[in-house]
Structures are given as C-alpha cells and as structure tokens.
Amino acid sequence: MLRPLNYNLNLIYRCPQCQTPYWFSKSEINKGLAFICCGSSHKLAGISDIRVRCYYDQDIDDKVISILRSYGYTLEQIKSIPIEANSTEDYVKQFLASQK
Ligand SMILES: [Zn+2]
C-alpha cells in the first residue's frame, strides 16, 4: 500500500461582509496576498507552519488493539498516535513509549 509523499491543500477564507469563500495556498498567503471583495481589501495573516496527520486505520491490526486495550487504552487513544512499525510487538513498544 502506498502512502502519500506530501500534501497539497488550500485554506479557505470568508469575506466578512458577504460570506463568499476564497481559497488560497500557503505560498499564496505568505506572499502577503489580500483579496478584494465587497469593495474592501482583506489582508491574509501569514502562516509559518501547517501540520497534517494521516491515520491509517487498516495498519493497526486486531492483535495490537487487543494488547493495548488490555493495558487500558481506548481505541481512540490507540488511533491517536501515528506509528510506523514493522510488527505487532514493535507497534506496542512504540505506542507504550509514546505514552510516557
Ligand atoms: Zn464580499
């Protein structure tokens, strides 16, 4: 299974007067761009960082889930930590280490 190398996303802004949405990329935003709507110029605040987390549900096998549940973790907690592991044991070890 392939995993993404990178992401490409736009951020959505709204004109405060008419609520029309406008889409901009991070690089457009950081050029000090402003958009004009309703006769006003709306300047966009610069962005230093955007973080995107990918969760791969199918990578957490049932064995990992049952082991971590026996330690008292909920499924939500188990899925909240992105882990790249080669085996069930490795996954459990990394998860437990991330909880300290
Ligand atoms: Zn407008």
Longest dimension (CA), the chain: 61
Q: What confidence tens digit (pLDDT) does each residue in 66-97 have? A: 999 999 999 889 888 878 787 888 889 999 99
Give pLDDT, residue 59: 59
Give pLDDT, residue 93: 92
Do residues 44 and 30 lie in contact, with contact meaning Cβ atoms separated by under 8 Å? no
Do residues 77 and 69 lie in contact, with contact meaning Cβ atoms separated by under 8 Å? no
Kindly write down the DSSP assignment for every residue of 45-83, as one continuous string: PP-S--------GGGS-HHHHHHHHHTT--HHHHHTS--
Residues by chain with Cβ below 5 Å of ion ligand 1 = 15, 17-18, 20, 37-38
pTM (2 d.p.): 0.51
Q: Which two tokens stand for residue 52?
A: 């995107």
Average pLDDT, the chain: 88
Tell me, in angstroms, the distance from the centre of ligand 1 to residue 9's CA. 23
Q: What confidence tens digit (pLDDT) does each residue in 39-49 have? A: 999 999 988 88
